[in-house]
Amino acid sequence: MKESIVSSIEIMTYIHATEDEDKVMKALEKLVPSNYRSLIKIEKSCSYGYFGNEIKIVKIKVQNSQLANNIISHVVSMLDNLDKQIIKTSFESRFEKSKLYLRINKQSLYLSKPQLDEGDDVVKIVIGFNKHKIRNLSSDRLLKELGID
């Protein structure tokens, strides 16, 4: 089996006081294949907004490259062709320092139809790559390795 170019994935979102925490958590879980959910750790922390409203910060960090690759494959398989094309055409603005940045609309994710979004009500996904393995790859080749072609 070929070694993955992916080294990690981080998934993060905010849960505002006006949101249903259970729904947001269910949306997040949809990004991880069901057979891998027991292997991930979800970190929660709390902060407060300008007016004292509670904001929960939820993160999933996966450093195991094989698990991260499986999660990314799952996420990519959920995206429609238009979003994959958007990733390809906007790659230069989404890729920096061996990391690819994606933002998925929370509501569309909850409805099992994830869509890219540039707004605030999103789940942020940061895909980390092994610098040595991607050094000589073109952006098209890197995206093809992720299943975006």
Looking only at the bridges linking them, the beta strands covering 54-62 and 95-96 are unpaired
**Reported CATH class of domain 6-143:** alpha beta
pLDDT digits (tens, 9 = 90+) for 116-136: 999 889 999 999 999 988 888
pLDDT digits (tens, 9 = 90+) for 8-45: 999 999 999 999 999 999 999 999 999 999 999 999 99
What is the Cα–Cα distance from 63 to 134, expressed in whole angstroms? 17
CA atoms within a 13 Å half-sphere pointing along the CA-CB vector of 25: 9
Residue 103, H or E segment: strand 99-105
Q: How many residues does the chain have?
A: 149
Domains of the chain: which residue ranges?
6-143
DSSP state of 137: -
Q: Indicate the SS3 state at residue 90.
A: coil
- pLDDT at 46 exceeding the cut of 80: yes
CA distances from 72 to 17, 30, 143 (A): 29, 12, 11
